[in-house]
Amino acid sequence: MSLLSLRDQLRSGSVTPSGLLDDLAGKIVSRDPEIGAYLSHDLAAAKAEAASVDLSLPLGGIPIAIKDNMNVLGQPCTCGSKFLSENYTSPYDATVIRKLRAAGAIPFGRLNMDEFAMGSATENSALQITRNPHDLDRIPGGSSGGSAAAVASGTAFAALGSDTGGSIRQPASHCGIVGLKPSYGRVSRFGLVAFASSLDQIGPMTQTVEDAALLLGAIAGYDPQDSTSLDRPVPDYLATLNDGVKGLKIGLPKEYFGDGIDPGVRELVMAAANKLAAAGAELVEISLPHTEYAVATYYVIAPAEASSNLSRFDGIRYGHRAANPTDLLDLYRRSREEGFGPEVKRRIILGTYVLSSGYHDAYYTKAQKVRTLIRRDFETAFETVDAVLSPVAPTPARKLGESAHDPLREYLSDIFTLAANLAGNCAISVPCGKVGQLPVGVQILGPHFGEAKLLQIAKAVEG
């Protein structure tokens, strides 16, 4: 059921917020054990909140599930890590949670994720495995795999995810839902546990494009508590949603349609492009010449920022603390060794290396320069086209464990999504069909603060 139809039923009195929560809790109990999307949910707290909710608000009475790296007052926030799973409870609400509540929504449920959002499969969670609802032997994608799996399985009406290099769009594609990464600065990051601060962005994961527009409108906007938040008016994203694509130009970057793409994925993405053309859009071949450097650039910048952000997890203030340390250095070393999983350790080590004396200019400074070139590629493209269309991922969801010991293969699976984070652009994944029983999404990328037109094009793809 879409959020708008759900809102209508709540306002008419045919369903109640408390009844919705009971229904969801029942589905979580019956369906989620085989999927593993939820880490926890507090039905009593949600029903207490529902008792006084204002149904006249845009999301009045609607439960929204939350990826477990966003702070919700009084709830756990594990980030999928042993480091925070033992004794950390959020002492405050993230800005997006305050905005959800201001719009009448009820935060309900904590969703599994790759540890500290580092991964593309949700296999890096230290707490449990999450499976793809369309094929339980396959990954849901990551790092927002729990969010995607919950929405796809019907155990959540909608969810919030975070996207640092594709972590909303890629699991949305693999699970057959809509996932939107807003422009950098469009949605506050205050209260999001940081992975890479210049790349992270919170966004909606929903069943329909219309739901994504509604949810984005609720969480977007300036926040003085986030220094990277930009003070720009928030449009009514629903107002232009059905304006169509006649006269719009859609860019097809030749670098995104080369070797390595599953033939079925390519066919479905091109069918989506042709659908836009049939609706009146013009397809234009474009070039984003620095695309080949995006993966290498990302895996210098993101680990560098992660190594700095994760230094706060030291066993001193909160989270896991090693027992019986011999001295302060032993406390630091063993707390981090015991608390962090292998992928997090890998990225901390890589990030520390590229920031170290003698290597900073050779790696980190150079990566920042290439990042500028990637951003300029998009700026040039958006001078001639309204949006860019591409695959989200080269293949449908792979089998669980298939790349567990091949991190490079996992890194390359994000080849089509990383650039949007490096450039700060908005981007969305919209379902465009299936290869066998496995869903595939098409990616549409827009310019900075171009969400309204992006959603308009996405709606035309959705039909």
| Positions marked active-site | 67, 143, 167
Determine the Cα angle at 438 with ends 169 and 252, to 5°: 50
Contact criterion met (CB below 8 Å) for 36 and 131: yes
The β-bridge relationship of strands 387-391 and 438-446 is: antiparallel
Number of residues that this document lists for the chain: 463
Output the 3-class SS for the chain.
Answer: CCHHHHHHHHHHCCCCHHHHHHHHHHHHHHHHHHHCCEEECCHHHHHHHHCCCCCCCCCCCCEEEEECCECCCCCECCCCCHHHHCCCECCCCCHHHHHHHHCCCEEEEEECCCHHHCCCCCCCCCCCCCCECCECCECCCCCCHHHHHHHHHCCCCEEEEEECCCCCHHHHHHHCCEEEECCCCCECCCCECCCCCCCCEEEEEECCHHHHHHHHHHHECCCCCCCCCCCCCCCCCCCCCCCCCCCCEEEEEHHHCCCCCCHHHHHHHHHHHHHHHHCCCEEEEECCCCHHHHHHHHHHHHHHHHHHHHHHCCCCCCCCCCCCCCCHHHHHHHHHHHHCCHHHHHHHHHHHHHHCCCCHHHHHHHHHHHHHHHHHHHHHHCCCCCEEEEECCCCCCCECCCCCCCHHHHHHCCCCCHHHHHHCCEEEEEEEEEECCEEEEEEEEECCCCHHHHHHHHHHHHC
The β-bridge relationship of strands 158-163 and 201-206 is: antiparallel
CA nearest to 107, candidates 31, 172, 158:
158
- How many whole angstroms separate alpha carbon 400 and alpha carbon 135? 10
